[in-house]
Amino acid sequence: MKTFRNEITVSILKKEIVEICRFLHSDPDLQYHLLTDLCGLDHFPQTPRFEVVYHLCSVKTNQRLRLKTRVGESESIVSVESVWRVANWYEREAYDLLGISFENHSDLRRIMLWDGYEGHPLRKDFPVEGPDFDKPFVPEV
């Protein structure tokens, strides 16, 4: 557990994510009813490769909480969509841009990129060069 500017960060095991989130959401003393953000991080070449970060807010207690968990490249993590419906789009974004798979998600498909797009552009091993990148940048005057 770490604290920075009154915001607590807790690292947890991925198998505990739904149970912990349900508790934080339903406990009458905590009431973390808002999932303000969910994002994925690529820690390539470390293993497990990915980290999923959940940013929670309790209006009742005026507290913010960050949960972090690690996920391997060929692994998946259980969706928290059953706790916060807004997780649907956040998890789809992490899936689309990083390739993190969420179990029990109601509609896990690309949200930003088109069907048939190959790869996940926020991965650190995604190629950043191609045939159109070899041209020098000359601004138009």
Considering the entire predicted model, what is its pTM? 0.89
* Cβ within 8 Å of residue 10, ≥6 positions away: 1, 65, 66, 67, 68
The helix or strand, by DSSP H or E, that contains position 87, with its residue range, turns out to be helix 87-98
Which residues constitute the domain of residue 16? 2-107
Average pLDDT over residues 36-47: 97
Does residue 25 sit within a domain?
Answer: yes
Q: Are 117 and 141 contacting, i.e. CB atoms less than 8 angstroms apart?
A: no
- 115 lies in a domain? no
76-134 tens-digit pLDDT: 999 999 999 999 999 999 999 999 999 999 999 999 999 999 999 999 999 877 666 55
CATH number at 98 reads 3.30.460.80
Is residue 51 situated within a structural domain? yes
Q: What is the pLDDT of residue 39?
A: 98
Distance CA(42)–CA(5), nearest Å, equals 25
Distance CA 92, CA 84 (A): 14
Asked whether residue 119 is assigned to any structural domain, the reply reads no
Q: Which two tokens stand for residue 29?
A: 């003393």
Residue whose entry in the numeric block shows the structure tokens 């930003």 = 112
Residue 67 is assigned to a structural domain of this protein = yes
What is the overall mean pLDDT for the chain? 93
Q: Is residue 46 included in any domain, yes or no?
A: yes
Number of domains in the chain: 1
What is the reported pLDDT for 139? 65
The CA angle 48-58-80, to the nearest 5 degrees, is: 40
Distance from chain centroid for Cα 80: 11
